[in-house]
Amino acid sequence: MRASGRLVARVSGRLRRVAGQAVSASVATTDPDARPLPPRRPGGPPLARRRFGDRPGLPVLIIATLMVLIMAMLGVEQVTGVSLLPDRISAGLRPPPKKFPVLPASRPTALAIDTIDLQAPLHDVGIAPDGTIAVPDVARAQEAGWYDQGPTPGQYGPAVIVGHVDTTTGPAVFHRLRELRSGDQVDITRADGQVAVFEVNSVQRFGKERLPVDEVYGDFSRPSLRLITCGGRWVGGETGYADNLVVFASLVKSRGG
């Protein structure tokens, strides 16, 4: 993001509401719209019965083809680290998340990502006058900002850290964020001396006016991290870059403290 553009869409009000939700919630396991199975005749087999030698119909072939395609795309994701499938489709097909600790509240002070040679101090940011998450002042473009209305890194929920991708004078703190891949490690040093270690799940790009708020800010099932900067084409004005680049990461361990 250059100094003249805004970093994210106006989502801070929704984020505050999400952050206030309980960290656990029940999940429905049945579909209220599902139709009941066909009844069986008393003492007999199901009403619909496939005859020996019947060939699968077109719907079965289509479903089988789609499953093969989905599995192939999951394979590509594992190799390249690029997310190709919507999370709602692939969530049940990916390996279960690793075990994780849960840390008490403690504000973050520094960020390190060895794979892109990034080390940067962190400071708090709140809400800008236009309702967006505030970003570091251009004079602090080599620092990142932790959104202080949300969880601290290591608590349940997504800790949000924002930063510029560039300024009018050159690259900024998150200039190489787009190079991250699944499995890369992000270390967040906290004021209590502990280091929260996150593992990148995916790197995705969204139009600023179409940011999926629930996907980015709404998962309180485990401690997680969102690194957000700008991307896409430069459009100028209040928007700056057309897109947001979002790194999704999950807490896998901690050390120190």
Q: What is the pLDDT of residues 115-160, one digit of tens each?
A: 999 999 999 999 988 888 888 998 999 999 999 999 999 999 999 9
Residue carrying the six token digits 């964020």: 177
Q: Which CATH number fits the domain 12-20+99-256, given the four candidates 1.10.3430.10, 3.90.1150.10, 2.40.260.10, 3.30.70.260?
A: 2.40.260.10
**Share in percent of the chain as helix, strand, coil (round to 5):** 20, 35, 45
User: Beta strand pairing status for 185-190 and 223-236?
Assistant: unpaired
Q: What's the pLDDT score for residue 121?
A: 98
Inter-residue contact 21 to 220 (CB < 8 Å) = yes
Q: Give percent of the chain above pLDDT 70.
A: 62
- Annotate 138-149 with b (16+ C-beta within 10 A) or e (fewer): eebbbbbbbbee
Q: For the chain, list residues with pLDDT below 70.
A: 1-61, 63-64, 66-68, 70-71, 73-98, 239, 257
**H-state helical runs in 159-229:** 213-217
Q: pTM score, two decimals?
A: 0.67
Q: What's the pLDDT score for residue 211?
A: 85
Give 99-156 as a DSSP string: P--------EEEEEEGGGTEEEEEEEE-B-TTSSBP---GGGTTSEEEETTSPPBTBS
Q: What's the pLDDT score for residue 130?
A: 81
Q: What's the pLDDT score for residue 244?
A: 92
Cβ atoms within 10 Å, residue 109:
15
Cβ neighbours of residue 156 under 8 Å, at least 6 residues apart?
A: 23, 102, 220, 221, 222, 223
